[in-house]
Every structure is written in structure tokens, then in C-alpha cells.
Amino acid sequence: MALELKNVSKRVGAATHIHETSLVLEPGTFNVLLGTRLAGRKTLMQLMAGLERPTSGEIWFAGHNVTGVAVQKRNVSMVYQQFINYANFTVYDNIASPLRVAGISAREIDSRVNEAAELLRLSPMLKRRPSELSGGQQQRTAIARAIVKDSDIILLDEPLANLDYKLREELRDELPKLFAGRDCIVVYATTEPSEALLFGGKTATLFEGRVTQFGPTSEIYRHPNTLTSARVFSDPPINVAEVRKVNGDIILGDKVKWKVGRAAQALADGAYTIAIRPHHIIPTNGSQEKATIEGRVLVAELSGSESVIHFDMNGQTWVSQSHGIHPFEVGSTAKLHVDVDRSYFFDANGALVGGAG
């Protein structure tokens, strides 16, 4: 019961929203679409749901070509960022509505609504109307409605974006548990790399209407295939600079130099682009940190659990993210240590050529 996108593209007038894309989503998987709001996530979801028809290519489900089959005829559920519930229905009736449309018996409806409500901790609120619920409870109602009808495909478009931070944390923990053991395909769109990481499952990185990489989430995070994928999957933004490899050394700017490590061992001498994650540039010098850099501190954000230092080096803004409390005066010179073996090297086309992940 896999969902297959075969060379699917979507153009609207002169604008290409989705470039030719092929993807296979397996049943029983949790798939994250990660990218900015304009990367094409919404269009891709609408194509998967059958809300939009592709300009070219085909969409197959369970071995059948479903291109052009209307959304009503597909067994699909969607949850949007804005909670959508029937205002004059109780929570119970809201959750039951897709089952009533499907003509399921009252007894069966009752047991399934109660089960979904139990999972989403809505049981005490079944008799209330949406206006009497908190934002989190309203969104949980919308999610309960999406999972109650045993859909083949469940599409969640930034469902937690409008919720309080702590509530988001709670639901982020609960969501994958809801789908564990089911054979539906879950697709979850987000702008937040940290959210993709915590869900695990699989991730597709999206940039300007293209899926740049797709696979198991921590693999995509640790082994980005291109500079674009690395940029999409980094929070805070990944540090990028031009370097040269000369006689076993890596040279960055006119002052920073280190002995080539495992990340760039196999590379020929020449020019490369290096990408270094903020948490691999830290104020303390350990056995992993083989290069030292210096920069002028622009901002120091100390949250107690971590220190984020924004600094200027060679006219470019860099970010360091470290555990614990590391105060720096704004305007002072910060000396920071880089775990160069965990950096990535890209060629002139932005393709990964070295990096230990």
C-alpha cells in the first residue's frame, strides 16, 4: 500500500511550484517534509492528497494509478495549521463526523470515537463544544478526527505551529505513538529541523520546489548529499565558508589552518566549500576540536542550558552553540574551537565530497 510519486511536477502559469519529483512512501512510516514555507511543502501535500492535479507525472497508490482521482474518493485525512472543527458540534460529534459520512454503525462509531479520544486525552471533554476548549484541545480534536477513520494517508501540515511551546513539546512526543503499529502513511510538514529530528522516521528536505534528499531522518541529518540539504536541515543555520586543501592542510581565510582530518582525507588539493554545524564550534578545547578560530562577538545568548555566540570572522557572521554557560562580552574577541572532523566538504557544484557526519 505504498504511495508513489512518479516524475510528478506542478506548474501554475509561468511558475514551477514542484519540479519533477519521484518519491516512494511506504506504509507504516512517518515522513517529514522539511523546508521553509515557500519550499513547496504545501503543494506537494496537496498533490499527495489529490487536492491538486500534477502538471506532469503520475501518482500511484497500492499499485493503482490514482492521478486525477478526487480527494473524496481517496482514503485521505488532513490536519492544517489552523484548527478546523465544526463550531456547533460537540467534540464527540466532531470526531465522529467522518465515520457518520462513511455510514458506519452507531456502536462501531462509539467505540472508535472513545478510543481516539482516549489516545488524545479528550475523554473528559467529549460533550463540550470547540469554543470551550483551549487551542491545544481544539487541535487534538482535529487530529482525533483525522485518525479515527483509518485513513491510508494522513497529511499533517504544520499542525503544531499555532500551539504553545510546551504543548507542542507534549504533542510532538505523543504523535508518533498514535501511529505506531498502524499501516497508514503519515506525512508531516514542518519548517523546524529540530522537530524533524525528534520525530525520527524519514525526512525529505525541500528547497525551491525540489526534494533535495529523502531517507531515514538521522542519516539525512548526518550525511547531507548537498550544501542545500545541509542548509535546510540545520538549526541554527549551518556555518559555510570557502577553504583550500594544500599539502595535507586545510586553509580557511588567511589565518586558520589545520591538518587534514578524516573528513577531507581523500580529497585532492584544491578549493572546497566547508559547512560546520554551530554545535561543532565551541568555547572549550577538547580532544575532538583540532582547529581554533577567532572572531568579534556580535551577540551572546545565554539561556542557562546553552550558549549561542554570534560572531564575525572575515566579514561573515558565524554561530557557535555550546552546552552550559559561556559568557562573552559583545565586541570582544572570542577564541573558539572547531571539531573539524565533523564538518562537511562540498565541491563547486555543492555536492558532498567529504565529511564524517
**What is the closest distance, in whole angstroms, from the C-beta atom of residue 163 to other proteins in the complex?**
9
Q: Which residue has the cell 500534477?
A: 54
Q: Please, what is the end-to-end C-alpha distance for the chain in angstroms? A: 33
Contact region with other proteins (CB under 8 A), list: 32-40, 48-56, 148-156, 251-259: 32-40
Nearer residue to other proteins within complex by CB, 151 or 239? 239
Binding of other proteins at residue 200 (CB under 8 A)?
yes
Tell me the chain's radius of gyration from C-alpha atoms. Answer: 24
Per-position x/- string for 118-137, each x denoting binding to other proteins as judged by CB under 8 A, each - no binding: ----------------xx--
Burial string for 23-58 (b: 16+ CB within 10 Å, else e) reads: bebeeebbbbbbbeeebbbbbbbbbbbbbbebeebe
**What is the closest distance, in whole angstroms, from the C-beta atom of residue 203 to other proteins in the complex?**
12
Binding of other proteins at residue 140 (CB under 8 A)?
no
Binding of other proteins at residue 58 (CB under 8 A)?
no
Strand extents, DSSP E, 43-178: 56-61, 64-65, 76-79, 153-157
- The Cα–Cα gap between 48 and 234 comes to 26
Binding of other proteins at residue 255 (CB under 8 A)?
no
Q: In what order do the strands lie in the sheet with 185-190?
A: 76-79, 153-157, 185-190, 30-34, 202-207, 210-216
- The Cα–Cα gap between 91 and 137 comes to 10
Note whether 8 and 54 are within 8 A (CB).
yes
Note whether 313 and 304 are within 8 A (CB).
no
Note whether 305 and 346 are within 8 A (CB).
no
Nearer residue to other proteins within complex by CB, 198 or 251? 198
Binding of other proteins at residue 81 (CB under 8 A)?
no
Binding of other proteins at residue 191 (CB under 8 A)?
yes
Query: Contact with other proteins (CB under 8 A): which of 83, 207, 221, 318?
Result: 221
Q: Which residues, numbered 159-178, are part of the site for other proteins (CB under 8 A)?
A: 164-167, 169
Note whether 132 and 164 are within 8 A (CB).
no
**What is the closest distance, in whole angstroms, from the C-beta atom of residue 171 to other proteins in the complex?**
13
Residue 128 phi/psi, 5-degree rounding, is: -85, 165
Q: Which residues, numbered 274-303, are part of the site for other proteins (CB under 8 A)?
A: 277, 279, 288, 298-299, 301-303
Contact region with other proteins (CB under 8 A), list: 117-125, 181-189, 263-271, 315-323: 315-323
Residue 39 phi/psi, 5-degree rounding, is: -75, -15
Sign of the dihedral defined by the CA atoms of residues 321, 322, 327, 331, in that order: negative
Binding of other proteins at residue 108 (CB under 8 A)?
no
- How many residues interact with other proteins (rule CB under 8 A)? 40
Contact region with other proteins (CB under 8 A), list: 5-13, 53-61, 98-106, 230-238: 230-238
Contact region with other proteins (CB under 8 A), list: 1-9, 35-43, 125-133, 147-155: 35-43
Find the angle CA(194)-CA(321)-CA(333) to the nearest 5 degrees: 155
**What is the closest distance, in whole angstroms, from the C-beta atom of residue 202 to other proteins in the complex?**
13
* Entry field: residues in the chain: 357
Query: Contact with other proteins (CB under 8 A): which of 72, 105, 305, 349?
Result: 305
Instruction: By CB under 8 A, name the binding residues for other proteins.
Output: 36-38, 134-135, 164-167, 169, 191-194, 197-198, 200, 217-218, 221, 235-237, 277, 279, 288, 298-299, 301-305, 308, 310, 319, 321, 323, 325, 330
